[in-house]
Amino acid sequence: MKALDRINLSKPLDNTGGVIRTHTHDEASGTSFIHSVQDIAPFKEANREMRNSGGDGYTGSRAMKHVATIPHIMIDKWCQEDGLTRVQFQRMRGKEKAAYIRRKLNNPDYAYMRTFWKG
């Protein structure tokens, strides 16, 4: 019997925030997998357009500045890389979350997520 014969076909779970999650179960081993995918090309394009818009990213009151747009799938990736659950990430507050995100966005691999912030 081929390994593929033992695995149920992927079943869609949800499509939240553009992230498509599917469930696969290997009946032979009893192992389940959740696969998540998201097309990040629209984020890259929108961020590039913002960077090239000539604006400075501040709100009209100048109280806040738009610095990045982060695809949901990247938060999942970062949490997995750093051994965090999504709940642990969501429970981070203030300076702790800001420092975490700043550290990630300072990585040149993630520069495409920045809008009006040079890093």
What confidence tens digit (pLDDT) does each residue in 8-19 have? 444 555 555 678
Domain residues of the chain, as ranges? 3-37, 41-113
pLDDT of 6 > 70? The answer is no
Q: What is the mean pLDDT of the chain?
A: 83
Contact 48, 66 (CB under 8 A): no
- Residue 72 pLDDT level (bands cut at 50, 70, 90): confident
What pTM was estimated for this model as a whole?
Answer: 0.70
CB atoms within 10 A of CB 113: 21
Q: What is the pLDDT of residue 77?
A: 92
For residue range 30-64, list pLDDT tens digits in order: 888 888 888 888 888 988 998 888 888 888 899 98
Tokens of 99: 């420092």
The residue among 38, 36, 37, 28 whose CA lies nearest residue 8 is: 28
